[in-house]
Amino acid sequence: MTIPHPGPSDEPAGETAPKLRVIPLGGCGEIGMNMTAIEYDGEILIVDCGHMQPEDDMPGVDLVIPDTSYLEERREKIHGIVLTHGHEDHIGGLPYIIPKLQCPVFGTRLTLALAEAKLEEYKLGAVQDLREARCREPLRFGPFTVEWISVTHSIPDASALLIRTPMGIIVHSGDYKMDLSPVLGEPFDFHALTTVGEERALLLLADSTNVERSGRARSEAAVRPALERYFQEAEGSIILATFSSALHRIQICFDLAEQYGRKVFLSGLNMERNIRIARNLGFLKINEETLAPLKQYPQHPREKRIVLTTGSQGEPLSGLMRMSLDDHKQVQVEPGDTVLLSARIIPGNERAIGRMINHFFRRGANVVTERQDAIHASGHANADEMRMLLSLVRPRFVAPVHGEVRHQLEHKRLLHDAGVPEENVFILDNGSVLEFGPDQTARVLEEKISASRVLVDGVMEDVHEVVLRDRMHLAEDGLVLVLLTIDRKTAQLLAEPEIISRGFVYMEESEELIAELKGVVLEAFNETEKESREEWLVVREAVRRAVRRYTKKQMQRFPIILPVVTEI
């Protein structure tokens, strides 16, 4: 049943007439942390609630979430959060933000199940209010009516959103590509978007991620032939690393494993969780005989094994990195094994991935990345698909979102070439307020709202709390700085460790203790495998654990321990 939606406003023009405002709180000028508030006459609807991974200059930070202080002050006016799909950069902020806003969350089946699992992980089952939405079945939220429209992406059950307001239709593209042969889920709903184009949307909020890539994005189905060659030719075990949400790729992996008589072993908690959820909902079709527990991996012939794992970005503590270092409990890489990194190499991770690949080559494995073969397909639209979306929706105004500044500006150039007047394209920052008047005029207000990043460390939010916690720790237990200088070629120490204490012990009167600490550090370093010493984080963590155990056992003290490794 179709729910009646508000038509164009009959309110008189003027300063007192209701205004429609679009306020990005995350996802503009960056990739990640997607969250947008849509406000009409004080009533608010929120699109997505994501997080972002910390950047290099955020040591000790677990993740970054949007600043919701503007929304918290208007909590009673919020009708809910509507989700486009189940990726972390669109749902990852829910455990931190739902307790503050206490509003319902709406999404399609798989999206909602992943959000529920995320909230359960943080023991927030008691505060969640999750409500399922179905594509093409509009839901009314005060002055807004929202309709989920099926699109294709790297995860099934992804949607664009049609948000009808008293001033016109806002189309939020979500993350999308126009995949004509998706492996899982519903096809791209061209008809629904064409219907919107006949009405002519007021505003299109459009994904900008792949605007620099010409043509069309590769179909998920097109990845199968490339992967199949390795299933045919691999004489040893196959280790396939991909994102835990890449369910299309995961289905292909299981189909090929069944076809070529291989057992699939899962590594990674998120991988196991997402596969379980997708199977329970019927998105993944898996033959039970193809799946085997990881503990049984050593018992199967090499030519009959495939490991499906996360860790494709070279994360230091991931299972894949441990496999590359020969430090995994069940999986030992042998000469002739094949490692397939079936995921995009995210900018900034090249060095870590390169080191991991080197470790695999030392084990005698053959490593293949997306840059060598077509074993990965992006989930985002390329330039031609962006032009197609524009022609379907026919918006009066466009705001490129979901991208860094260069992506937004390149998207603006694409729109200009496609005939959209320059004054009808808005490059928004987080905190910008795009306002529409009753006569469908649009402007970005000079005054921005607070939309700073909130840094999360464990259960603590906001960098100020992190600073306070560190100051209290330093005041109570002090700091032990361990300096290690390593020869880059030999991976050996060039000098004995240097220990510096601040607020822990008075060094001039603690020579015996400092000497014992140096011995603890040397022992921890010598117990670290030579190959592992190339990974600074591994060495630092080994030293930190050893010094922590010693100070706890001998002194019942818990100083901040900061190992610093320098390569020469």
State the catalytic residues: 207, 380
Token output for 26: 């995350």
Phi, psi dihedral angles at 566 (to 5 degrees): -120, 130
Could you give the CA distance from residue 249 to residue 255 in angstroms, rounded to a whole number? 10
Kindly report the number of other CB atoms within 10 A of residue 250's CB atom: 27
Angle between helical axes of 383-393 and 405-417 (0-180°, round to 10): 60
Q: By the 8 A CB rule, do 420 and 398 touch?
A: yes
Tell me the three state secondary structure of residue 132. strand
Token output for 78: 């919020």
The 8-class DSSP code of residue 52 comes to: B
Question: 27 to each of 94, 118, 429, how far by Cα in Å?
Answer: 15, 20, 9
Helices (H), 418-484: 463-477
Nearest to 240 by CA among 184, 156, 348, 319: 319
CA atoms within 13 A on the CB side of 117: 19
Give 355-391 as a DSSP string. Answer: HHHHHHHHTT-EEEETTTSS----SS--HHHHHHHHH
The 8-class DSSP code of residue 535 comes to: S
Could you give the CA distance from residue 313 to residue 343 in angstroms, rounded to a whole number? 8
Could you give the CA distance from residue 179 to residue 189 in angstroms, rounded to a whole number? 11
Helices (H), 394-481: 405-417, 463-477
